[in-house]
Chain A
Amino acid sequence: DSGVTQTPKHLITATGQRVTLRCSPRSGDLSVYWYQQSLDQGLQFLIQYYNGEERAKGNILERFSAQQFPDLHSELNLSSLELGDSALYFCASSVVGGGFSYNEQFFGPGTRLTVL
């Protein structure tokens, strides 16, 4: 158990809908990262927040947005869902938010999103 929690574990929804994924980082971690993992793409970095502020952006679609709240939990909002958005969404957390060098990221168990 990494100490990172994600809810829900599974989510099934229809195209065009909007969903919110939630992540609680490890106690003491200030940074939260969101990743998407689909079968044919591998892990794709979406976005990083550090202490409430956006720190880095990856291949995140405009239909997707995220935020980190004062209690450091984070939410990933996915809207106008398409079939291709079906994937595992992982949240990771780390103590600091700077370079990745020895900045160990701890991954949550993921949310499996299925868009029908």
Chain B
Amino acid sequence: KNQVEQSPQSLIILEGKNCTLQCNYTVSPFSNLRWYKQDTGRGPVSLTIMTFSENTKSNGRYTATLDADTKQSSLHITASQLSDSASYICVVSTGGGADGLTFGKGTHLIIQP
């Protein structure tokens, strides 16, 4: 069964600090992996997408890495800001239709001033 596991479940850090969120998956076949940011009560917004051949992708202070051999991805946030407080969701696709998506349950990140 395809699965996406995210860790930690929740994380609290001080403003200005860096943090790394983890995503491990057992999805086959693998097509791409996407990280979403979801503010409380709002729809998810795509941060990065990576295919099998890409191992790093940046979007401002967000950097995602992918190790397709170990089936692991991480999302690194640099110099955190209060606006980074949100849930971060890892989604892995088999490349087919939307029924080929497997969602992680997300990491809830809180940035404290």
A interface list, Cβ under 8 A from B: 2, 4, 33, 41-45, 48, 55-58, 88, 90, 92, 97-102, 104-105, 107-110, 112
Q: A42-B103, A42-B106, A48-B98 are in contact. Are A100 and B31 (CB under 8 A)?
A: yes
CA distance A55 to B101 in the complex (A): 14
A99 and B95: CB pair below 8 A?
yes
A43 and B51: CB pair below 8 A?
no
B95 and A44: CB pair below 8 A?
no
Give the size category of B's interface with A: 20 to 34
Main secondary structure of the interface of B (DSSP, over half): mixed
A-B contact pairs, 8 of them (CB 8 A): A4-B43, A33-B98, A41-B105, A43-B91, A48-B99, A97-B97, A100-B100, A107-B45
A100 and B95: CB pair below 8 A?
yes
CA distance A50 to B101 in the complex (A): 17
Q: How far is the CB of A108 from the nearest CB of chain B, in Å?
A: 5
Chain B 24-58 interface mask (CB, 8 Å, partner A; 1/0): 00000001100000000111111001010000000
Does B89 reach chain A (CB closer than 8 Å)?
A: yes
The 5 closest A-B pairs by CB, nearest first: A107-B43, A56-B97, A42-B105, A56-B99, A48-B98
